[in-house]
């Protein structure tokens, strides 16, 4: 009887273990399926985001242009025949462009109809003609072929965003204007071209003339100042805390505060910059200098944490070997530890710069939301940055700005992907496995 029970016990134990294993394996498969499903949903949403932004933004890289012949009348441009640049710059080029349109459509009469005709082309067309004359004054007195952007409404019409089948009262272009557009199109004067203005102009009230170059230059100056301040200060602070500072209550408080600052909302740094740099020190508003100072404060905790992690990754044997050969602690740090940890430091700094590039809230607080047309020539000139430019365009009522908003987002994403890719490349190429 005992032998029988003893013989059955291992069998029952095996059955219980096998049943438990089946449940565990089943639970593991279900958990894996949950993980795969979550990953698939995340990737699907990311793909949807890129597709949505891409379909909206890609048309902004094309612009509708119209080509016509303009008579550069000398009596209008330079009556005194002096070829003075000041005189050429202030000439009435708008009159030349409008006269060209009236000559092309001689049947249009009446001031109201003529104003409707003028709305076919961008209000920036006279400036394109002026630049042509300023670059080559010898053209004065001749007839030249000029390609100028059409107005935003007819750019949208050419791209199919405004339908001619919609009742006239429900669209921004009239039937008469559509007829004039069709005549220009049938003459081969209308074509879609690469929108160079998007990458060479600053902001504008007219969508067809608006560009991101001013915001790109402002972002460059802002990030340059951020990099120049946050990298050396952050690395120096990390080296001191990791290698020289004694371990006591004060250093513990500093470390906790650094970790907490890395999680502080960015707008708090904007409020700090508004109170200190603008109100107390009196620095100019909307300047990349102030933007760089604010973003440096925001980026410093990230740089310090990443730099300390890079220093900690260097094996203690490196330090012990250098000290055993007679090197001082400073020589150990500067000649051995920092060169081995600099890759991790740069990686953390680039990631911090990428975060700073995408920030808008702290810069809104210091006035970089201003409407800036001119391209900044230095860090003290008024400027804006790409995220703020996107914010401004997203708030504009014209539909053409929807395209340009998405196009600017694509450019910003390209910069962010490039910076993060550079960080990954540096880590994979120079990181040492101990």
Beta strands 190-194 and 143-149 are unpaired
Contacts of 135 (CB under 8 A, 6+ apart): none
Place of tokens 């993060």: 420
Residue 5 has a pLDDT of: 52
* Confidence (pLDDT) at 228: 93
Quote the pLDDT of residue 120.
92
Angle formed at CA 353 by CA 351 and CA 359, multiple of 5 degrees? 110
Instruction: Express each pLDDT in 149-194 by its tens digit.
Output: 999 999 999 998 888 888 988 888 999 999 999 999 999 999 999 9
CA dihedral for 297, 417, 424, 223, sign (positive or negative): negative
Tokens representing residue 404 in the block: 């340009």
DSSP 3-state of 67? strand
pLDDT > 90: what percent of the chain? Answer: 49
100 touches 71 (CB < 8 A): yes
* DSSP 8-state code for residue 150: B
Q: Please write the tens of the pLDDT for every residue from 42-54.
A: 999 999 998 999 9
Residue 57 has pLDDT above 80, yes or no: yes
What's the confidence (pLDDT) of residue 432?
Answer: 66
Share of the chain above pLDDT 70, in %: 96
Query: How high is the pLDDT of residue 93?
Result: 92
**Residue 224 neighbours by CB distance under 10 Å:** 13
Higher pLDDT pick, 410 / 20? 410
How many other CB atoms are there within 10 angstroms of residue 398's CB atom? 18
The reported pLDDT for the residue numbered 236 is 93
Rounded to the nearest 5 degrees, what angle is found at the Cα of 254, between the Cα atoms of 248 and 259?
125
Q: Is the pLDDT of residue 430 over 90?
A: no
pLDDT at 150: 93
Residues 203 and 372 sit within 8 Å (Cβ to Cβ) = yes
In angstroms, the CA 189 to CA 194 distance is 16
Question: Left (φ > 0), alpha (ψ -120 to 50) or beta: where does 386 sit?
Answer: alpha
Residue 395 scores a pLDDT above 90:
no
Helix H segments across 74-118?
Answer: 74-77, 85-89, 93-104, 111-118
pLDDT tens digits for 268-312? Answer: 999 999 999 999 998 988 899 999 999 999 999 999 999 999 999
pTM: 0.85
- With a CB cutoff of 8 Å and minimum separation 6, the contacts of 76 are 91, 92, 95, 96
Contacts of 302 (CB under 8 A, 6+ apart): 234, 262, 348, 351, 352, 355
- pLDDT reported for residue 6: 54
Predicted confidence band of residue 2 (pLDDT cuts 50, 70, 90): very low
The pLDDT tens digits for 102-117 are 999 999 888 899 999 9
Q: Which three-class secondary structure state does DSSP give residue 383?
A: coil
Look at residue 221 and tell me whether its pLDDT is greater than 60: yes
Confidence grade of residue 7 (pLDDT, cut at 50, 70, 90): low
Q: What pLDDT is stored for residue 325 in this prediction?
A: 86
pLDDT for 1 equals: 43
Q: Report CA torsion sign: 27, 33, 35, 41.
A: negative
Confidence of residue 360 (pLDDT cuts 50, 70, 90): confident
| pLDDT reading at 349 higher than 50 | yes
* Confidence band for 434, pLDDT divided at 50, 70 and 90: low
Q: What is the mean pLDDT of the chain?
A: 88
CA 291, CA 121: separation in Å to the nearest integer? 37
CA–CA gap between residue 206 and residue 190 (Å, rounded): 19
């Amino acid at each position: 009887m005992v032998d029988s029970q003893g013989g059955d016990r291992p069998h029952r134990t095996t059955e219980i273990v096998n049943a438990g294993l089946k449940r565990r394996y089943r639970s593991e498969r279900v958990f894996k399926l949950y993980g795969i499903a979550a990953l698939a949903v995340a990737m699907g949403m990311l793909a949807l985001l890129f597709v949505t932004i891409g379909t909206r933004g890609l048309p902004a890289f094309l612009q509708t242009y119209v080509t016509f012949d303009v008579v550069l009348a000398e009596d209008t441009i330079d009556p005194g025949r002096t070829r003075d640049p000041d005189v050429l710059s202030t000439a009435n080029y708008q009159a030349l462009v409008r006269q060209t349109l009236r000559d092309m459509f001689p049947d249009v009469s009446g001031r109201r109809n003529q104003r409707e005709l003028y709305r076919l082309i961008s209000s920036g067309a006279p400036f394109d003609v002026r630049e042509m004359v300023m670059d080559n004054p010898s053209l004065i007195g001749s007839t030249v072929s000029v390609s100028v952007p059409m107005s935003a409404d007819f750019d949208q019409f050419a791209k199919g965003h405004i339908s001619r089948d919609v009742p006239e009262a429900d669209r921004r272009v009239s039937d008469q204007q559509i007829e004039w557009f069709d005549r220009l199109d049938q003459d081969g004067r209308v074509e879609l071209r690469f929108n160079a203005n998007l990458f060479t102009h600053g902001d504008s009230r007219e969508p067809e003339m608006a560009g991101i170059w001013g915001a790109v230059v402002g972002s460059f100056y802002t990030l340059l100042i951020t990099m120049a301040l946050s990298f050396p200060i952050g690395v120096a602070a990390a080296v001191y805390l990791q290698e020289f500072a004694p371990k006591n209550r004060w250093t513990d408080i500093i470390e906790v505060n650094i970790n907490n600052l890395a999680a502080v909302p960015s707008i708090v740094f904007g409020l700090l910059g508004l109170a200190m740099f603008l109100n107390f020190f009196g620095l100019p508003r909307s300047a990349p200098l102030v933007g760089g100072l604010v973003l440096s404060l925001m980026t410093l905790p990230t740089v310090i944490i990443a730099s300390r992690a890079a220093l900690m990754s260097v094996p203690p044997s490196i330090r012990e070997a250098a000290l055993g050969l007679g090197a001082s602690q400073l020589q150990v740090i500067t000649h051995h530890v920092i060169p081995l940890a600099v890759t991790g430091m740069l990686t953390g700094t680039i990631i911090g710069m990428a975060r700073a590039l995408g920030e808008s809230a702290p810069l809104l607080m210091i006035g970089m939301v201003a409407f800036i047309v001119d391209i900044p020539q230095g860090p003290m000139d008024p400027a804006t940055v790409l995220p703020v430019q996107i914010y401004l365009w997203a708030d504009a009522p014209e539909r053409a700005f929807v395209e340009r908003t998405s196009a600017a987002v694509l450019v910003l994403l390209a910069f962010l992907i490039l910076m993060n890719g550079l960080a990954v490349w540096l880590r994979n190429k120079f990181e040492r496995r101990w």
